[in-house]
Chains A and B, each alone.
Chain A
Amino acid sequence: MRDKNLEIFKKVSFVRHFELQVFKNIKNKNIKIPAYLSAGQEFISSSLSYFIIKELKIKPLIFAQHRCHATYLNFGGNPKKLIDELLGKKSGTNSGLGGSASISSKKINMFGHDGHMGTQMPIGLGACFASKKPTIIFLGDASIEEDYVMSSIGWASFKKLPILIIVEDNNLSILTQKKVRRHWEANDLAKGLKMKSVNIKDDPKDIEKSKKLFFKEPFLMNINTTRLFWHAGAGEDDYKRFDRYEYTKKKIGSIGKEIDQKIKMEVSNLWQKQLEKQ
């Protein structure tokens, strides 16, 4: 169990330091495009990718949301290509056309996002229905409010597809909180549409409890998490945030600090090399 937690922590650490580098490179103007940072939300895709790829040995079709760096990195995307994409280079994941929000990779079955909130739900559903392959769709807590997302959840449930819907619920649409926008939770919606669902924290232990249901039947997980930085770009919002990465690092003690420092150096070198190629 400890090994598993450390493996997940390493994945989280990699994404965290990657995103801190993105932050830094937006500030110093090496990155000149709008970027949507996953920092704070890394535990979701780090845990899921660990359970799905490493333990269940499944390589799903992946439909991410605009805040997709963590999804790409955790499911096996090449970080150098992501750096190049953010720098707008031809050698990027999408030849510099995808930017931060539309990352795709044929190698890991990850399809690009078109920039409209929640379209990945019906599009991913169509791919799942047509191929019958295990499919994971990431949504934000705002995109689940899109009418076409709701109707797609209904059809996925009706057709009993091997689909896993993940709502990365950071409680915010830009800065508008959920309580201002609605009075229901994503899992309530799923239940109403006869789909199994849970509403949990982004703690790997909580995520693991649902593992047995992955791709066996349509399943929705609303996972509560925290966005560390601005909706887009490099800045910090003015509110108190829980940071699971820092919390876990502290909890696991010296080994956590060691992993953090080692990966920080690794990621920093990686960025340095890619920047030098410019």
Chain B
Amino acid sequence: MAKTVRETIKEIVYYHLKKKKFLAMGQCLSAVGWVGGTLPELYEKDGMIELSMADVAGGGIATGAALAGKRPIYIIRYQGFNWYNAPMILNYACKSKELWNVSCPIFIRSIAMEGKIGPVAGSSHHSLYYRMPGIKIVSPMTPKEYKGIYEKFMKGDDVYYVSEHRGSFNNHKELIDVEINRPNLVIFAISITRFEAKKAVEILNKKNFRISLCNILWIKPFKVKKKMINQLKKAKYGGLVIDDDYEDGIAKNIANDLSIISNKKIHTLGLKNKSAGFSKKGDNLPPDCKEIISKIEKILVKK
């Protein structure tokens, strides 16, 4: 059987530390589960650095390690923690090359999950980084995508925000774009929503809804295959961007870009504009298959 995303990440971290002699750092790395089984059981002598629980300083320490040429993999166990971890990464590491001609490459492993974990720990928060210059944002959900992103990081000297999702860790399959001849609508799905979007498209297309699906790996710079843009240009009812972050973030930015490129109306679907509670009823979860289908039905019926 092919390797899962979890196994792929674990192998990459091992290679980064033991073969390349670089660093991985973060909080509570060696605690129960080794960050969802994505870390090899290595310690400070191997380059696996347990930081103190000071989030803001942690981002600065990772930045300094990058200045020293150690290409740190900086592990943030819940994406919401970026509110405190991001300041020095965005204001120093991301600007370092431009302002001081000094490379400061960091591979930020920012991990999302959701479901009864409250207003901070849940979901993706990649929009937080999106507006700033000097950052690359990707959201790999398959083993091949993850490996490719790591290789690109190692060849360059940029800061990468790698928006992971625990829901993808068991995945061992690649996700393929769905191209329909003269589609009614094209879905552009980000992060964990790609799995639900795939299910929704299968169901809808069985009912002859004619929906194409484009998997977004590169969020910033925004990259999609030209053929998917051509699909959008031909789509009768435009497109739909789906995200695991708040709808008032990257989803709307990408929708705007796509709208300008294609001259089509682009809809969005993401987290609702409310705080997530800890109970099932009060939670704020990413759009699931049912919600995606419902949204598409509404778009098509309204037209």
Contact = CB atoms under 8 A, between A and B. Distances in A.
Contacts of B87: 116, 119
Given A122-B57, A123-B60, A123-B88, A155 B52 contact: yes
B23 interface: yes
A131 B57 CA distance: 18
Nearest to B62: A126
Given A147-B56, A151-B52, A125 B99 contact: no
Interface string B11-27: 00000000000010000
Contact of A125 (B23, B64, B69, B95): B64
B91 interface: yes
A197 interface: no
A111 interface: yes
B98 A130 contact: no
B91 A104 contact: no
Interface of A: 94, 97-98, 102, 104, 106, 111-112, 114-116, 119, 121-131, 133, 147-149, 151-152, 154-155, 158
Interface string B45-75: 0000101101011111111111111101000
A126 B67 contact: yes
Nearest to A126: B64
B99 A124 contact: no
Given A123-B63, A130-B70, A116 B91 contact: yes
B102 interface: yes
Interface string B157-174: 000000000000000000
B99 A119 contact: no
10 contacts: A97-B99, A123-B60, A123-B67, A125-B64, A130-B69, A131-B68, A131-B69, A148-B60, A155-B52, A155-B54
Contacts of B70: 130-131
Q: Which 7 residue pairs across A and B have the least CB separation, nearest first?
A: A126-B64, A122-B60, A151-B54, A126-B61, A130-B68, A130-B65, A127-B64
A127 B102 contact: no
Q: Is chain B's interface secondary structure helix, strand, loop, or mixed overall?
A: helix
A98 B60 contact: no
Nearest to B71: A130
Contact of B91 (A114, A121, A125): A114
Contact of B68 (A115, A126, A151): A126
Given A116-B87, A119-B91, A111 B100 contact: yes
B92 interface: yes
Given A123-B63, A125-B64, A148 B54 contact: yes
B57 A155 contact: yes
B68 A94 contact: no
Nearest to B59: A122
B61 A152 contact: yes
Given A123-B64, A151-B52, A102 B23 contact: no
B63 to A, nearest CB: 5
Given A127-B67, A129-B49, A151-B57, 14 more contacts: A94-B101, A102-B99, A102-B100, A114-B91, A116-B87, A121-B60, A126-B64, A127-B65, A129-B65, A147-B56, A152-B61, A154-B52, A154-B54, A155-B54
